[in-house]
Amino acid sequence: MKNILFISILIYTVSASVPVCSYDMHRYIVDDARLIIHPVNVSLDLKQKHALLYEIANEIRSQSHQEFADFIKICLQELAYMYEEEATRPDESPGREIAGGTGAWRAETMSVANQLYQVADSVSPAMDLDVDRDDSGELMIRVEDKIYIVSNPVINKPFALDERIIKRVCQTRYCSPDIVSRQEKLNKRTIIIEANWVIAEGEKPEYVTRDGLHFVFDSLDERSRKQIGSLKLIREIKLITESLKDAVKKGVLLEWDLIAIKPFQGSYDYRIQLNRFSDSIHLTLPELHHVDNWQKTVFPWIRAQVNGTPMDRYIDGDKALAYVLE
């Protein structure tokens, strides 16, 4: 995960799960999960997604023709960048089937990127330019008589394009503190982990969280790498946990026996179906993705946390972090 904010604070407490010890507090700001409730209110979802970008567009429109043309150019360039990234991204699932073949798909995607680059390069203040939203809430850019939809080609990351455009715009011109603050919080979540090592004579060393996750190791060799790797896994486990808690608060039914976890092919993105109605959360899990059978390992603890039941879960740290420690 990118752009992670890390702060370390030392606090002292007593836990029933582990011997008396101090816990380091680790705070991360991460990309949030996306809750999708069926039937989806597509129009409302899209309008909320593009609200900040549309607000910025209207503000810049009122400044000058040159600034508005620069804004249009940035939008088209970032859209082109995303198509280019998709066309050149290494395929983590070489066996996946794409209509017409992977080569044809990549060529077509790159062709779209090149067309967008050409349009972006041609934009000037003298042109007839506009930004608007259609009936479904999608953002549209008009350059003369051509319409371009500002939509991320990676469908399971609908916020990424808006975030990139806003960040770049605010690097090239003044953005109000309110805009910057709202952009920084856009689709973000704060994850707090309280954890430390528990080392007792005659026992295997453990990296333990205050809420009951125990990563058990054979030795303290490579202690720093083991701690960093454990924190990355814990961060994603808690992201799932907090996302499920939020779903419950919003009235979504969790049917634990029906929960299904499915990866999106060729990525670290996952869809967790929550019930028979196909309500789901979409999130990125680049660390857990490398852990064999991670669902069976961590979901009993996640379920206990969501239900408000304290639980200690012991995890073979050397096995879970094999992809890091090799």
The whole-number pLDDT of residue 99 equals 46
Three-state SS string over the chain comes to CCCCCCEEEEEEECCCCCCCEEEEEEEEEEECCEEECCCCCHHHHHHHHHHHHHHHHHHHHCCCHHHHHHHHHHHHHHHHHHHHHHHHCCCCCCCCCCCCCHHHHHHHHHHHHHHHHHHHHHCCCCCCEEEEECCCCCEEEEECCEEEECCCCCCCCCCHHHHHHHHHHHHHCCCCHHHHHHHHHCCEEEEEEEEEEECCCCCCCEEEECCCEEEECCCCCCHHHHHHHHHHHHHHHHHHHHHHHHHHHCCCCCCHHHCEEEECCCCCEEEEECCCCCCEEEEECCCHHHCCCHHHHHHHHHHHHHCCCCCCEEEEHHHHCHHHHC
Inform me whether the pLDDT recorded for 300 exceeds 60.
yes
Phi, psi of 104 (to 5 degrees): -65, -40
- Tokens linked to 105: 């798909």
Q: Which of 4-18, 68-82, 136-150, 204-218 has the lowest mean pLDDT?
A: 4-18
Question: pLDDT-based confidence at 1, cuts 50/70/90?
Answer: very low
The whole-number pLDDT of residue 302 equals 97
The whole-number pLDDT of residue 188 equals 77
Question: pLDDT-based confidence at 3, cuts 50/70/90?
Answer: very low
Inform me whether the pLDDT recorded for 52 exceeds 80.
yes
Q: Which of 1-5, 36-40, 317-321 has the lowest mean pLDDT?
A: 1-5
Question: pLDDT-based confidence at 174, cuts 50/70/90?
Answer: confident
Question: pLDDT-based confidence at 309, cuts 50/70/90?
Answer: very high
Q: What is the mean pLDDT of the chain?
A: 84
The whole-number pLDDT of residue 155 equals 65
For the segment 70-85, the average pLDDT, to the nearest whole number, is: 94
Inform me whether the pLDDT recorded for 159 exceeds 50.
yes
The whole-number pLDDT of residue 118 equals 96
The whole-number pLDDT of residue 236 equals 97
Question: Residues 39-51: pLDDT tens digits?
Answer: 655 444 555 667 7
Q: How many residues appear in the chain?
A: 326
Name the residue with tokens 């089937």.
97
Inform me whether the pLDDT recorded for 182 exceeds 90.
no
The whole-number pLDDT of residue 152 equals 81
Quote the radius of gyration of the chain (alpha carbons, Å): 23
Find out whether 139 and 54 touch, Cβ atoms under 8 Å.
Answer: yes
Question: pLDDT-based confidence at 102, cuts 50/70/90?
Answer: low
The pairing of strands 269-273 and 280-284 is antiparallel
For the segment 140-156, the average pLDDT, to the nearest whole number, is: 86
Find out whether 279 and 36 touch, Cβ atoms under 8 Å.
Answer: yes
Integer CA distances (angstroms), 151 to 145, 188, 190, in order:
19, 20, 26
Question: pLDDT-based confidence at 134, cuts 50/70/90?
Answer: confident
More confident residue, 197 or 38: 197
Inform me whether the pLDDT recorded for 16 exceeds 70.
no
Question: Residues 254-264: pLDDT tens digits?
Answer: 999 999 999 98
